[in-house]
Amino acid sequence: MAVLIVSEEERKRAAEIIAEAKAHPVLFETIRHGVVDDTPLLRLKDRKPGIERPRSAHMMFPGGYRAAFSIEQQPAGLCTHLSISVEGRQRKGMMPSVEAVKVICEVFGVPFPPDKSWNEEFEPGEYAINLLSLYAPTKEGNT
């Protein structure tokens, strides 16, 4: 079982990651070709060939939780994208607990529940929960 530890150091690092993501949002053009039909579980085999996800800023929380955060330009507007996984777990494929996800969402200022969520295989047999939420809608007439 992973234990989530959040100190001021982790909050400061998350704030730095958020600022960097806001300064450099991932453009829709970069991610649109990798979009897969709405699915609760995206496996490696389901990804379109040749598509690589743009790098996100990552951080480790003491106790084994890993978070990746980005701001993405989507048709609806700017969205936060938070991905959370567990490292150093006792069994392969272990997912983060709901309680840990809620706390990490709070640290990154991401609403819980999110507008959209799905589980994603990022290495064979290893999964992360992804949370996508709209935070700056596109102004009407500006698509």
Coil, helix or strand for 74? strand
Q: Which residue has the higher pLDDT, 143 or 40?
A: 40
101, 84 contact by CB (below 8 A): yes
Q: For position 139, what pLDDT does the model report?
A: 83
Instruction: Write down the pTM of the prediction.
Output: 0.84
Q: How far apart are CA 37 and CA 139, in angstroms?
A: 26
Coil, helix or strand for 63? coil
Pairing of strands 41-42, 116-123: parallel
pLDDT in tens, 28-55: 876 655 455 566 666 656 766 655 666 6
Q: For position 31, what pLDDT does the model report?
A: 63
The three-point CA angle 128-80-8 to 5° equals 80
Q: For position 1, what pLDDT does the model report?
A: 61
Grade residue 63 by pLDDT with cuts at 50, 70 and 90. Answer: confident
pLDDT, average across residues 43-72: 80
Q: How far apart are CA 14 and CA 7, in angstroms?
A: 11
61, 85 contact by CB (below 8 A): no
Query: Domain residue spans in the chain?
Result: 8-137
